[in-house]
Amino acid sequence: MSNVKFLSGENIPLEMHKVRMVQRVNLIPVEERKERMEEAGNNTFLLKNRDVFMDMLTDSGVNAMSQNQYAAMMQADDSYAGSETFYRLESVLQEIFGMKYFLPAHQGRACEHIISRVLVKPGSTAIMNFHFTTTKAHITACGGDIEEIVIKEGYKIKSDAPFKGDIDIDKLKELINKLGRDKISFVRMEAGTNLIGGQPVSMKNMREVSEICRKADIPFVYDASLLSDNLYFIKIRDEDYKDVSIKDIILEIASLTDIIYFSARKLGSARGGGILVNDNSLFLKMRELVPLYEGFLTYGGMSVREMEALAVGLEETLDFDVISQTPLIVEAMCNEFVKKGIPVVTPPGGLGCHADAMEICSHIPKSQYRAGALAAAIYIAGGVRCMERGTLSEQRNADGSERFSEMELARLAVPRRVFTLSHVKYVADRMDWLNQNRQLIGGLEFIEEPKVLRFFFGRLRPVDDWQERLVKQFRKDFGDSL
Ligand code: F0G
């Protein structure tokens, strides 16, 4: 681990930055946390941030920016068309990815909308390592379907596999043979595969997938939202790349793909999104949709200040000390969990620490949303807001039956450069208590269930009075403490 810095003798990562602006946070008493959870329909998305102590819902749009990013915001050129800011961002992207065309969009899902509208025909299938919620929603909204072919290891909670996000190559070949080229909209690879625990994809796998796609003339789409974590893992876990520069790794990735898109709420630590493409006819088709849904071609729904911050943030992604920060904190957190016997996805990925609700809440029927219940319990136990990543995040099947997720995870996301190691220890401490009292956690049932992306604003209630019992036990064990 050449340039990763640790405190001598201990496995504690050293921050290669200092903090010069802070935000006050509150920890309200456990009784109030239970009430706020009830008001929020047991959905952590519906909590108010003022009631949250540690916001680990996501790393999206909440990463700490650098002083150079803030400084760049001040030079933004605010014009509807032809803004200098756009050309600056465009040239940074072209330089980093070596791709010809850039289309701006207001965030990652907007890119998914545009790509799906152009490539997904009704009845077609998009093949991918694993879906992301918004990706799947846009593909199905265009009448398409998805097939997930991540390698078997990807579904295992405990594993030593370094690249659990890889595509199963045999399955890819089989599917192409079975469906035929015309029924396949595209093959999609997600860097730092989100829903299976922020697990990376290997270069070898990318090369193989690319070769197959090129032979079969199928567009290869790369979701680079979590690219920075994936780059770190390529450098750390792949012997062949330990001396290859981050810039060269990105260029190689880009050379293997046809379309790259990203959420700039993650990649580049700003807010926005974009699509990169080499093929002129694809570019022209997608370009038509930008002014219609996003905004004029030189801002695409982004504020010019964010675009300036993004240009700098993307350049900073080439710095190993910047991109290593999150994976190192995630690893430290996972190690704390493992030490305390809390089941968690291993090896640690990027993005956050993923507690295994399938096991922690194995006493709860699957139909009562194990990961959703654990997420509600985590907030009550510690004021920590995490996100359900399991059955609740799935859409029901067309016949209304539940689509049970293979994994039930409570994702404790680690926004970049936001939390300290004492925060990490605090979360591990409350998770430990919860794990020891896991029998007290009960199930949830819907009281309001939206049809699409139900996890965003669906409302649920506990199936019995388990949350009261949890609070009682908390008071017994923690006394007056918050
Ligand atoms: N792709 C991936 C891999 C993502 O993680 C996300 C967002 C998107 C696409 C969509 O981007 O939010 O800018 O529209 N992930 C966030 C999360 C929401 O919390 O994991 P967006």
| Alpha-carbon span 347 to 406, nearest angstrom | 18
Radius of gyration of the chain from Cα atoms? 22
Residue 271 has pLDDT above 70, yes or no: yes
| Atom 9 (ligand 1) nearest CA | 108
Residue 1 has pLDDT above 50, yes or no: no
Per the annotation, the verdict on 207 as an active-site residue is no
List, for residues 94-146, the tens digit of each pLDDT value: 999 999 999 999 999 999 999 999 999 999 999 999 999 999 999 999 999 99
* C-alpha 421 – ligand 1 centre gap (Å): 25
Per the annotation, the verdict on 58 as an active-site residue is no
Local confidence band at 452 (pLDDT 50, 70, 90 cut-offs): confident
Residue 2 has pLDDT above 60, yes or no: no
Ligand 1 pocket mutation, candidates 130, 266, 330, criterion most atoms within 8 A of CB: 266
pLDDT at residue 398, rounded to an integer: 86
Average pLDDT over residues 270-284: 98
In sequence order, the β-bridge partners of residue 199 are 193
In sequence order, the β-bridge partners of residue 275 are 103, 261
pLDDT at residue 323, rounded to an integer: 96
Local confidence band at 6 (pLDDT 50, 70, 90 cut-offs): confident
Q: Give the percent of the chain with pLDDT over 90.
A: 95
- Neighbour tally for 448: CB within 10 Å: 12
| Atom 4 (ligand 1) nearest CA | 225
pLDDT at residue 83, rounded to an integer: 97
List, for residues 211-230, the tens digit of each pLDDT value: 999 999 999 999 999 999 99
Residue with tokens 């925060």: 423
* C-alpha 455 – ligand 1 centre gap (Å): 14
List, for residues 347-385, the tens digit of each pLDDT value: 999 999 999 999 999 999 999 999 999 999 999 999 999
13-17 long-range contacts, CB within 8 A, separation 24+:
13/324, 13/325, 13/328, 13/329, 13/331, 13/332, 15/325, 15/417, 16/321, 16/322, 16/325, 17/66, 17/321, 17/325, 17/417
In sequence order, the β-bridge partners of residue 125 are 145, 184
Local confidence band at 3 (pLDDT 50, 70, 90 cut-offs): low
Looking at ligand 1, which atom is closest to the CA of residue 107?
13
Residue 5 has pLDDT above 50, yes or no: yes
Average pLDDT over residues 149-156: 98
> Residue 25 phi/psi, 5° resolution?
-125, 155
Per the annotation, the verdict on 389 as an active-site residue is yes
> Residue 190 phi/psi, 5° resolution?
-105, 120
Query: What angle do the packed helices 84-97 and 304-316 form, to 10 degrees?
Result: 20
Residue 416 has pLDDT above 60, yes or no: yes
Ligand 1 pocket mutation, candidates 228, 265, 354, criterion most atoms within 8 A of CB: 265
Q: Give the percent of the chain with pLDDT over 70.
A: 99
Can you give the pTM of this predicted structure? Answer: 0.96
pLDDT at residue 140, rounded to an integer: 95
Residue 415 has pLDDT above 90, yes or no: yes
Which of these, 163, 257, 170, lies nearest to 210 by C-alpha position? 257
* C-alpha 194 – ligand 1 centre gap (Å): 8
List, for residues 432-443, the tens digit of each pLDDT value: 999 999 999 999
List, for residues 300-331, the tens digit of each pLDDT value: 999 999 999 999 999 999 999 999 999 999 99
Per the annotation, the verdict on 340 as an active-site residue is no
Per the annotation, the verdict on 266 as an active-site residue is yes
Cis before 347 (ω within 30): yes
- Average confidence score pLDDT of the chain: 96
Strands (E), 178-284: 184-190, 220-223, 259-263, 273-277
| Alpha-carbon span 72 to 40, nearest angstrom | 38
Query: What angle do the packed helices 466-478 and 370-382 form, to 10 degrees?
Result: 40
